[in-house]
């Protein structure tokens, strides 16, 4: 069965885009408006149990996301492609890199989870676990990771989209995958060009954490702060994010 996705652009450079734990491919809508469709072709993939693939059953693992992304590339006839991944999608993109290293041209991680386990203490794990059932927990995560600085309207819309576009089974399944899975040994030393874009107000993925993980794993990694953004720059600063992503992909 063909993997549903949304394609933007007709350019020569092919890019697969992977979303985060709390969002879907639809969350890139504002960001998509500022992409160069003449230079790039982007394929936005929903994970199983999310968005346009909400009814697609799965095991809800990073291995599964990677296999679906590679299958999508095959479906599109893309022998080589770059990857853009946000948060959990950044970890999934690294799984694709580990599984198909000769096919990945460049990798962009946006406020991304490292290939190692995420250092969640008991309180943090409790909040993440509660978010499977609790809208208030999801709101608290959105608020915390964007620096407690965005409006209640923004937070409410983020929560509403998350609740409506995910299944609890998938949401809960992916939690363990992105927090606890550790495959850092499989990517350490990989020389693929890597760009890490992190929000200056992101309280979950600091420069220190990213330096100690992404900066250590990838010898060709470059880290850059996105000004005036937290964990969701595709919502908070879409023009700046699109510009930074494509500047790296063009180089």
Q: Tens of pLDDT along 95-147?
A: 999 999 999 999 999 999 999 999 999 999 999 999 999 999 999 999 999 99
pLDDT of 171-198, one tens digit each?
A: 999 999 999 999 999 999 999 999 999 9
pTM beyond 0.95: yes
Contacts 24+ apart (CB under 8 A), 26-31: 26/51, 26/161, 26/165, 27/161, 27/232, 27/234, 27/235, 28/234, 30/234, 30/235, 30/238, 31/234, 31/238, 31/241, 31/242
Dihedral pair phi/psi, residue 205, rounded to 5°:
-130, 85
Distance of CA 52 to the CA centre of its chain: 17
Distance of CA 167 to the CA centre of its chain: 18
Q: For residue 160, is pLDDT > 90?
A: yes
Average model confidence (pLDDT) for the chain?
97
Distance CA 118, CA 94 (A): 14
pLDDT of 8-39, one tens digit each?
A: 999 999 999 999 999 999 999 999 999 999 99
- Residue 162 makes CB contacts below 8 A (sequence gap 6+) with 22, 23, 138
Q: For residue 1, is pLDDT > 80?
A: no
Domains, in order of start, for the chain: 5-250 (3.40.50.1820)
Average pLDDT over residues 194-206: 97
Query: What Cα–Cα distance (Å) separates residue 143 from each residue in 26, 202, 211, 219?
Result: 20, 10, 24, 33
- The two tokens of residue 156 are 């409410």
Asked if 209 and 2 touch (Cβ cutoff 8 Å), the reply is no
- Residue 16 makes CB contacts below 8 A (sequence gap 6+) with 42, 43, 45, 69, 72, 73, 78, 81, 82, 83, 84, 96
- The two tokens of residue 68 are 């679906």
pLDDT of 27-85, one tens digit each?
A: 999 999 999 999 999 999 999 999 999 999 999 999 999 999 999 999 999 999 999 99
């Amino acid at each position: 069965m063909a993997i549903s996705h949304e394609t933007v652009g007709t350019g020569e450079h092919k890019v697969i885009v992977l979303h985060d734990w709390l969002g879907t491919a639809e969350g890139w809508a504002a960001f998509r408006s500022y992409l160069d469709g003449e230079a790039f072709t982007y394929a936005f993939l929903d994970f199983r149990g999310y968005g346009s693939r909400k009814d697609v059953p799965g095991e809800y693992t990073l291995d599964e996301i990677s296999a679906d992304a590679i299958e999508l590339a095959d479906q599109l006839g893309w022998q080589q492609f770059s990857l853009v991944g946000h948060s959990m999608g950044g970890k999934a993109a690294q799984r694709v890199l580990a599984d198909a290293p000769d096919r990945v041209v460049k990798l962009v991680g946006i406020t991304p989870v490292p290939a190692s386990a995420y250092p969640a203490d008991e309180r943090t794990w409790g909040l993440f676990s509660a978010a499977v059932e609790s809208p208030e927990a999801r709101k608290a995560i959105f608020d915390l990771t964007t620096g407690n600085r965005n409006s209640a309207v923004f937070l409410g819309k983020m929560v509403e989209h998350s609740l409506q576009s995910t299944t609890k089974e998938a949401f809960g399944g992916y939690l363990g995958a992105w927090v606890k899975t550790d495959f850092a040994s499989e990517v350490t030393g990989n020389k693929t060009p890597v760009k890490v874009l992190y929000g200056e107000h992101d309280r979950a993925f600091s420069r220190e954490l990213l330096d100690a993980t992404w900066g250590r794993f990838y010898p060709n990694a470059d880290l850059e702060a996105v000004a005036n953004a937290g964990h969701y720059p595709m919502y908070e600063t879409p023009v700046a994010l699109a510009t930074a992503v494509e500047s790296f992909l063009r180089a």
